[in-house]
Structure 1
């Protein structure tokens, strides 16, 4: 059985020669050098992706949204009730959320994936990859076991590969879940080694920012301690 480590080792490096060719081509166009800003950098990055042979091509487009509830919600780090995760996930299946409207404008399909929504039964219309009914509370325990985390990553990778086989060449990813910015900040803090206060923001809780920041910082700090 292929492991996550095995799969990561198969990812090829970018093609620097192709990126250089793309840079020269863009710089030679009838426009001021660098005038398109970030758009130019993205085009050059795309040209360097393995398998494209230096010719950027976008076929079908897909946005994968992973939906789950977070145990750290119990710490008061979110302004919305936990049930909003399930409500918004269901709304996505109807195409009525912001990401669905923007994706439609870009000609991209949205795939809504349940990886851990805290409901008794799976929500109709969602792709079911649920590994648990919500994660653990990172302020007091691990969010999940390493085994479950790797299984989930491998499941999503396999699903993405199937989409690629069916012509999808451009993927966008996102997540949905009340209190999701707390584990996101905690993970960034742990991976980068930066202090929690440097990566914690106010999320959606703008009305109670001062109290929320203190709680959010505490939860992120607790998470870092569990990972050390």
Structure 2
């Protein structure tokens, strides 16, 4: 934490720390009960692999072996990034607002997937440069250009995280059982690479990909901007809020808040790809227990995605070579979760079928 923050902790800082202190671990006694239920079902032990793990993990998180996935919601954090000025993207900021509006009309990829998966979608304007029809929780009309100055103030970073926690609480009150994280913001693979570089102590070359189709020249420019921005601001890897404020984005902060809120309100939260994973990593550095409430959906093609999941000690359930963002990969996992739960609930047991149960062999 920087010196002025040590000397004077703001109300937002106090609020975030208070919420993090209230986070408790999942109840693993219900995970054991769910495991016993799976073992009683008339199928070879552990033969559904990670599908079984999904239900077992959710039982601990939800605090019941009567797991529910019926009400699912994808929260999409939409925000612009000032670093776009440096030519690190193929398109301009105007695309952020255009795609964000499409979430409301089922024209965006994630919205179409949500409709098919029977999930709600909640797009949030947490920092789009233009005015939108989305729910307005705007911290500012985009971040500043991190190549020249910090992306945001420390208080703005804190507010973005608290916004995500607030939304998780609202969705819990509305009866949702599972949340997923998504984003929309031109330039956010640049900010995500910068944040993940600092938090993992990696070089930009290891953590930076082509995003939405950069050329080799564009990729080199992007790497150089990330390296110079980190060198300019020297974000403190031991202070995640400092990292977010100097080289991050409002969407990353908002999603980090969703992950912390999931832990606070005992909701499983599904990670999407690289950008969502960066937010999960940030949340984990702020609140280590939050990892127990996370579910990894897929492995993004972005080069840093695997390293982030390894740092979180999480395994993805899907390998689809996706890198679309928006929460698309997280939503693709929803039907798999539903199918796993259907088997868990409905399949007959060895006893009901009068079959000798499989034994756990060592």
| Structure 2 length-normalised TM | 0.57
Correspondence 1:167 to 2:155: no
Higher strand share: 1
| Cα offset, 1:130, TM superposition | 0.8
Partner of 2:52: 40
- Superimposed CA distance per residue, residues 166-218 of structure 1 (whole angstroms, 9 cap, x where no aligned partner): 11121111110111111111111111222222221111115x1x122212222
- Does residue 216 (structure 1) correspond to residue 222 (structure 2)? The answer is yes
Q: Does 1:149 align with 2:157?
A: yes
1:205 aligns with 2:216: no
Query: 2:78 touches 2:184 (CA, 8 Å); kept in 1?
Result: yes
Higher helix proportion: 2
Match status 1:115 vs 2:115: no
Match for residue 158 of structure 1?
Answer: 166
State the 1:28 CA deviation. 4.2
Q: How does 1:6-17 map to 2 (within 5 A)?
A: 6-17=18-29
Any idea what SS the aligned residue of 2:230 has?
Answer: helix
The verdict on how the C-alpha distance between 1:41 and 1:71 changes in structure 2, with shifts beyond 3 A counting, is same
Contact 1:62–1:170 at 8 Å: present in 2 too?
yes
Whole-Å Cα distance in 1 between the matches of residues 51 and 170 of structure 2?
28
Question: Aligned match of 2:79 in 40, 62, 68?
Answer: 68
Match of 1:130 among 132, 138, 142: 138
Question: Cα offset for 1:38?
Answer: 2.9
| C-alpha separation in 2, matches of 1:150 and 1:114 | 16
**1:109 CA drift (Å):** 1.2
Q: Secondary structure at the match of 2:177?
A: strand
> Residues of 2 paired with 1:30 and 1:76: CA distance?
58
- Work out the CA distance in 1 between the residues paired with 2:53 and 2:184: 28
CA positional deviation for 1:63:
1.0
Aligned with 1:29 (options 41, 44, 53): 41
Query: Which residue matches 1:181?
Result: 189
In structure 2, do the counterparts of structure 1 residues 22 and 192 end up closer, same or farther at CA, with 3 Å as the change threshold? farther
The count of corresponding residues between Structure 1 and Structure 2 is 222
How high is the TM-score relative to the length of structure 1?
0.88
Instruction: Please say if 1:89 is aligned against 2:100.
Output: yes
Q: State the 1:3 CA deviation.
A: 1.1
- Unpaired runs of at least 5, structure 2: 1-10, 237-362
Distance 2:127 2:167 in 1: 17
Q: Deviations over 1:38-58 (max 9, x none)?
A: 322222221111x42343212
Report the CA distance between 1:221 and its aligned residue. 2.0
Partner of 1:168: helix, strand, or coil? coil
| CA-based RMSD | 1.9
Change (3 A) 1:205 1:25: same
